[in-house]
Amino acid sequence: MKTVIRIPNHLTQDRYWGALLMLFSKQPRLQMYFTPRYFDLEEGIVDYHALTKIAKPWSSSERFLLQLALHLFNERYKVNLSDMDYLDPTNKQLALNAIRHRFQIR
């Protein structure tokens, strides 16, 4: 059984955490890996290396959403925005909402 992570409200309001958490809580593939194995919200840790390793066999659109989530959280992790072309309309809207949250676009 998957361990549920309780997301503190202050993190959803944070522009960096909020964008990452939005993608991981609303996108089905990312939801599968939103577990204590990859996230320690109390310590502010995301296991980037493990996440990118498990994502190797994923579809291009799923890998893009992971890369976008990691980039919005920490710009050290690069993303090619042109890869947004891989997304279906639902995931494209989710990506845009996360970008709006991160950059505080209303």
Domain coordinates of the chain in residue numbers?
A: 11-102
Q: pTM for the complete prediction?
A: 0.92
Per-residue pLDDT of the chain (106 residues; tens, 9 = 90+): 456 677 777 888 899 999 999 999 999 999 999 999 999 998 889 999 999 999 999 999 999 999 999 999 999 999 999 999 999 999 999 999 999 999 999 8
66 CB contacts (<8 Å, ≥6 apart)?
30, 51, 52, 55, 58
Element (H, E) at 46: strand 45-46
pLDDT in tens, 52-71: 999 999 999 999 999 999 99
Q: Which residue has the tokens 């958490």?
A: 21
